[in-house]
Amino acid sequence: MKGSHVAITGVEKYFGDFHALKSVSVDIKKGEFYSLLGPSGCGKTTLLRIIAGFEDPSSGAVLLDGQNVVPVPANKRPVNTVFQSYALFPHLTVFENVAFPLRLRKMENAAVKTKVQEFLELVKLPKEGKKLPAQLSGGQRQRVAIARALINEPSVLLLDEPLSALDAKLRQHMLIELDAIHDKIGITFIYVTHDQQEALSVSDRVAVMNEGEVVQVGTPFEIYESPSDPFVAHFIGETNYIGGTVTEVIGDKHAKVDFPDIGSLFVYQDKPLAVGDKVKVTIRPEKIRISSDKPSALGDQMNLLEGGVDELIYSGFQSKFFVRVSERATFRVFRQHVKFFMDEKAINWKDRVFIWWNDNDGYVVEVEKP
Ligand SMILES: Nc1ncnc2c1ncn2[C@@H]1O[C@H](COP(=O)(O)OP(=O)(O)OP(=O)(O)O)[C@@H](O)[C@H]1O
Ligand SMILES: [Mg+2]
- pLDDT higher than 70, residue 62: yes
pTM (2 decimals)?
0.90
Mean pLDDT in residue range 305-329: 93
Nearest to 60 by CA among 72, 48, 50: 50
Q: What percent of the chain has pLDDT over 90?
A: 82
What residue type is 21 in one-letter code? Answer: L
Report whether pLDDT(1) > 80. no
Atom 11 of ligand 1: nearest residue by CA position: 20
Query: Which ligand has its closest atom nearest to the C-alpha of 208?
Result: 1
205 CB near ligand 1 (under 6 Å) = no
Architecture field, domain 6-234: 3-Layer(aba) Sandwich (3.40)
Confidence of residue 271 (pLDDT cuts 50, 70, 90): confident
35: pLDDT strictly greater than 80 = yes
* Residue 193 Cβ contacting ligand 1 at under 6 Å: no
Q: What is the mean pLDDT of the chain?
A: 93
Choose one of 14, 22, 44 to mutate for the ligand 1 pocket test, by most ligand atoms within 8 angstroms of C-beta.
44
Looking at the CA of 160, name the nearest ligand: 2
Rounded Cα gap, residues 116 and 113, in angstroms:
5
The finding on whether 18 has its CB within 6 A of some atom of ligand 1 is yes
Pocket test of ligand 1: the residue of 14, 21, 46 to mutate, having most ligand atoms within 8 Å of its CB, is 46
What is the band of 5 on the pLDDT scale with cuts at 50, 70, 90?
very high
The residue nearest atom 31 of ligand 1, judged by CA position, is: 41
Contact 211, 42 (CB under 8 A): yes
Beta carbon of 44 within 6 Å of any ligand 1 atom: yes
Nearest to 315 by CA among 332, 335, 331: 335
Other CB atoms closer than 10 Å to residue 352's CB: what's the count? 12
Span 98-152, pLDDT tens digits? 999 999 999 999 999 999 999 999 999 999 999 999 999 888 998 999 999 999 8
**Better pLDDT: 339 or 163:** 163
Indicate the Cα dihedral angle 190, 191, 193, 198, nearest 10°.
Answer: -130
How many A from CA of 194 to the centre of ligand 2?
8
Nearest CA to ligand 1 atom 27: 40
Residue 85 has pLDDT above 80, yes or no: no
184-221 pLDDT, tens digit per residue, is 999 999 999 999 999 999 999 999 999 999 999 999 99
Q: What is the atom index within ligand 1 of the atom nearest the CA of 43?
A: 18
CA of 9 to the centre of ligand 1 (A): 20
Closest residue by Cα to residue 357 from 310, 314, 325, 326: 325
- Of the listed ligands, the closest to the CA of 54 is 1
Under the banding of pLDDT at 50, 70 and 90, the label for residue 2 is: confident
Higher pLDDT, residue 271 or 73: 73
- Full strand arrangement of the beta sheet holding 59-64: 18-28, 6-15, 59-64, 67-68
Q: Sign of torsion, CA 81 85 91 95?
A: positive
Crossing angle between the packed helical segments 168-185 and 109-122, to the nearest 10 degrees? 120
How many whole angstroms from 180 Cα to the centroid of ligand 2?
24
Residue 36 CA to ligand 2 centre (angstroms): 10
CB 254 within 8 A of CB 267: yes
* Domain 238-368 class, CATH top level: mainly beta
Those residues with Cβ within 8 angstroms of residue 49's Cβ, 6 or more apart along the chain or in another chain:
55
Pairing mode of beta strands 33-37, 188-193: parallel
Contacting residues for 208 by C-beta, under 8 A, at least 6 apart: 37, 38, 214, 215, 216, 217, 223, 229, 231, 232, 235, 236
Give the span between the Cα atoms of 58 and 211, in whole angstroms: 17
The SS3 call for residue 260 is coil
pLDDT digits (tens, 9 = 90+) for 95-109: 999 999 999 999 999
Determine whether the shortest distance from the Cβ of 43 to ligand 1 is under 6 A.
yes
- For residue 238, the CA-to-ligand 2 centroid distance in Å is 23
Q: Say whether pLDDT at 75 is over 60.
A: yes
Question: Ligand 1 pocket, 45 CB below 6 A?
Answer: yes
Looking from the CA of residue 194, the nearest atom of ligand 1 is 25
Residue range 46-62: mean pLDDT, rounded: 97
Tens of pLDDT along 343-370? Answer: 567 888 999 999 999 999 999 999 999 8
Residue spans per domain, the chain: 6-234, 238-368
The pLDDT, as a whole number, for residue 346 is: 83
Which residue's CA lies nearest to atom 3 of ligand 1?
15
The predicted pLDDT at position 47 comes to 97
324 to 234, 309, 350: CA distances (angstroms): 20, 6, 10
CA-to-CA distance for 118 and 144, rounded, in angstroms?
Answer: 12
The 10 Å Cβ neighbour count of residue 339 is: 8
